[in-house]
Structure 1
C-alpha cells in the first residue's frame, strides 16, 4: 500500500488541532472565604461594551487577575501568569455592599458595588462606558 504524500499535511493539521484542544487546568486550590477577606481569582466578566449578546464571558487563565483583601484593610491585585503586583493599597467598606479602593494604580479612589458575595463567589460591579460592568471572582487559597 502506497502512502499518499498529499494527505500528510492534512493528517498533520488534524493531529495538531486535536492535540491543542485540551482544557486549561485550574492551578488553584478552591476554598471558602468569610466575607470579602481572602484571595479571589477572576473567572468571568460581563461588560455591555464588549458583549453584544450581553452574556457572561469566561476569563482565560492567561488573562485573569487575582485580588487579595486582608484583615488589615490592605488590597493587592496581581496578574496571573507573571504573578506581578499591578495594584496595591487600602480598601474600606462604608456600606455592606460597597467597597472603596484607594490604590496606587488610580489617581482617585474607586468605588465598586458588591453585586453578590457568598463564601465562594464575589461579583464586583462598577459603572462602565455603556452600562454596569461586572467581574466574577472565585475564592482560592
Structure 2
C-alpha cells in the first residue's frame, strides 16, 4: 500500500474530525462550558462526523444502513481515535490553549497545529492498517 493512499485516508479522517471538533469547540465556548465538557463534545462530534463522511460515501455504493455502519466503524475507529488522542493531547499540552477563546490566535494555532501533528502520526498508522486489509482498506471495496 502506498503512502499516498494512506495520506488520502488520513485526510478523509482529518476532515471529519476537524468539522466535528471545531463545531464542538465553538458550541462549548458559546455556551460557556468548561474545558472538559467542551473537549468531550468536540471528541464525540469528531467521531460522529468522521463516521458520517464514510457512511455517506458507502451508502451511495448501495449498502444497507446496518452494513454501512459496520463498514464505517471498521474503517474509521482506529484512525479517528489516534487522530483525536494526538490532537487533543497537543491542545491540552499547549500552555493556555484550553483557556483561549475563539477570537485568539492561540486557540486556532494550537488546534491547527494539533491537526497537523495528528495527521503526521496517523498516516503511518493508516498505512500499516491498509496494508493488512484493515481500516480504510475495507471501504475501498465499495468505491
Fold match, TM over 0.5? no
Answer 1 or 2: which has greater helix percent.
2
Question: Which structure would you say has the larger Rg?
Answer: 1
Answer 1 or 2: which has greater strand percent.
1
When normalised by structure 2's length, the TM-score is: 0.24
When normalised by structure 1's length, the TM-score is: 0.24
